A and B are shown apart, each in its own frame.
Chain A
Amino acid sequence: MTEILVLVDHVDGDVKKVTFELLTLARSLGTPAAVWAGPGYSDAAKARLAEYGAEKIYIADADEIGDYVAAPKAEVLAHLVAERSPAAVFLAATGEGKEVAGRLAIKTDSGVISDAVGVGEGFVAEQSIFGGGVNVHSRVTRGLPIITVRPNSTAPVAAAGAGAEEKIEVALSDAARAARIVERVVQEKGGRPELTEAAIVVSGGRGVGSGENFAIIERLADSLGAAVGASRAATDAGWYPHQFQVGQTGKTVSPQLYIAAGISGAIQHRAGMQTSKTIVVINKDAEAPLFEVADYGVVGDLFQIVPQLTEEIEKRR
């Protein structure tokens, strides 16, 4: 079967969960070949990629690839597309993944499907648009299918692949070196799963009232092994860092469980969480629009309900 290239999403040498989802999806449609672009490749990374079915691992681990915005990864992929004629390319529908996909599409004169929630026979992709209101099937009609897939939309399933390594060298063009990353500033709050990767997300909004009060949201999250998210009202107020904002202009999350406390459910917030599998809403206003999408809602004061919920969960552990 022909290869499907999967761009590995990695930070500090760690492979992100979405990569295992992409490999799982690729395996159902062809032969998955992982593409590692950037520094930090290791035996541990190889083992993880092979564990999820990578038959081949293309390695372009020059430090330089990580020094510039998006363009070098697109050049690595374009090089492989020209050399190997894969059947398709899958990338994570993250900020960077989408940008790499866009540039690759132009380099290879191929169509690109953005933010798929599934891919089937013939690389027909499923998209969930307008904040989850409409389901679309779409496909690429010119060139090879380049598809970005929303994290958490496929369950990762392990299945050993050969993991045959092949080093590749790509000479970056001057254009790819145009936007240089001079410093990376890490603001991650330690210990919790990454927001877009987490199976459970607990988010707080304006109703939480202050940055200090976010501790009760964090405690609930920790009782569930969840990531913490926030509405824009909360990030704008400085109660929680911006990279935890869920919504149209924040992160799109699609976890198994989304718990929202003190969030009204503005359309821009819903656009980022509406495809969560199960939604629990806590709000003192029974009219809050977020209740419309809730599987379970509690009308009441979050300062009563959230700590009680946390305590119950801890009791049951």
Chain B
Amino acid sequence: MNIVVCVKQVPDTATERKLRSDDKTLDRDAADGVVNELDEYAVEEALRLKEAHGGEVTVLSMGPARATETIRKALAMGADKAVHLHDDALHGSDALGTSYAVSQALKKIGFDLVILGSESTDARTGMLAAMLAERLGAPQLTLASKVEVEGTAIRVERITDYGYDKVEASLPAVVSVVEKINEPRYPSFKGIMAAKKKPVETLGIADADIAADQVGLANSWSEVVDFAAAPPRAAGTVIKDEGDGGARAAEFLASKKFI
């Protein structure tokens, strides 16, 4: 089975995240770049499926030059090879542009299964998997907490508000995973060393048949008009419980008309 895992480099949530004042895109230099946490679960699931069914796991990441750090991490976990979609023309692409570029790269790579995280920690649109399914005409098995493949049949459990749905489709398919699905492995020392020798192919937009007028900031379907730091929350009252903490909290709730 030929599995492609989409992996995004995002700013570390533990550091202060910003937009750039010049073009209002994400400031990738202001913070450390890390693998989008959920994408580690996507890589793990791909590796488990490969272990069970054979085949190959390819990492696909669209991003600036430093996204190679993220690609190496996924390779160190055990993926076989990687494709880095990297071109200045891609800077500032919105969700539509990103899904278009990634879908073109996927067509070029070829796949039986595409696995994504269900959401990135920076943009958090949670739309990319559905958009890829739409663009590729492939079944959408998203928000999966369990994935099973048998021949060309694929079954997932999809998390919903009320519990979960059991969903079935045939390969090729697009899957996104929630963090309940597995426990990602840590790269071993051996894995880290091996990753350095694994092939990483860099594709520019021409290499992946990406039309220049469908990607990049200038061609995005949406724009940021303006932005500002949220006003800090007014410092609240913090009391120490002296035996009446619950009663005093109730006072507070009453003063706010919650009771």
Same complex origin of A and B: yes
Q: Which residues of A contact B (CB under 8 A)?
A: 11, 69-71, 74, 94-96, 98-103, 105-107, 109-115, 124, 128-143, 175, 178-188, 194-196, 200, 224, 232, 235-236, 241-243, 248-249, 256-257, 267-268, 271, 278-280, 282, 286, 291, 293-301, 304-313, 316-317
- If A187-B163, A298-B245, A312-B250 touch, whether A134 touches B125 (CB-CB below 8 Å) is no
- If A243-B161, A304-B245 touch, whether A106 touches B135 (CB-CB below 8 Å) is yes
The closest CB in chain B to the CB of A98 belongs to B126
- If A307-B246, A312-B246 touch, whether A142 touches B221 (CB-CB below 8 Å) is yes
A-B pairs with the 10 shortest C-beta distances? A308-B246, A300-B241, A111-B221, A102-B127, A178-B139, A312-B250, A187-B163, A99-B130, A297-B238, A309-B246
Instruction: With a 10 A CB-CB cut-off, give which of B96, B222, B236 has the most chain A CB atoms.
Output: B222
> What's the nearest-Cβ distance from chain A to residue B35, in Å?
14
- 23 example contacts (A-B, Cβ-Cβ < 8 A) are as follows A69-B141, A101-B127, A103-B134, A105-B95, A105-B96, A128-B230, A137-B226, A137-B227, A141-B220, A142-B221, A178-B137, A181-B166, A184-B162, A194-B161, A242-B159, A267-B13, A280-B249, A282-B245, A286-B238, A294-B236, A296-B249, A304-B245, A305-B249
Q: CA separation between A167 and B238, bound complex, in Å?
A: 56
Against A, the Cβ 8 Å flags (1 = close, 0 = not) of B136-177 are: 011111110100000000000111111111111110010000
A-B pair number, CB within 8 angstroms: 297
Instruction: Write out the residue numbers on chain A whose beta carbons fall within 8 Å of the beta carbon of B18.
Output: 134
Selected contact of A278 from candidates B38, B133, B138, B256, CB within 8 Å: B256
Other A-B pairs beyond A141-B223, A178-B137, A243-B160, 7, CB < 8 Å: A70-B142, A105-B127, A109-B221, A112-B125, A141-B222, A179-B167, A242-B180
Main secondary structure of the interface of B (DSSP, over half): mixed
The closest CB in chain A to the CB of B16 belongs to A133
B52 at the binding interface (Cβ < 8 Å): no
> What's the nearest-Cβ distance from chain A to residue B189, in Å?
28
B167 touches A313 (CB 8 A): no
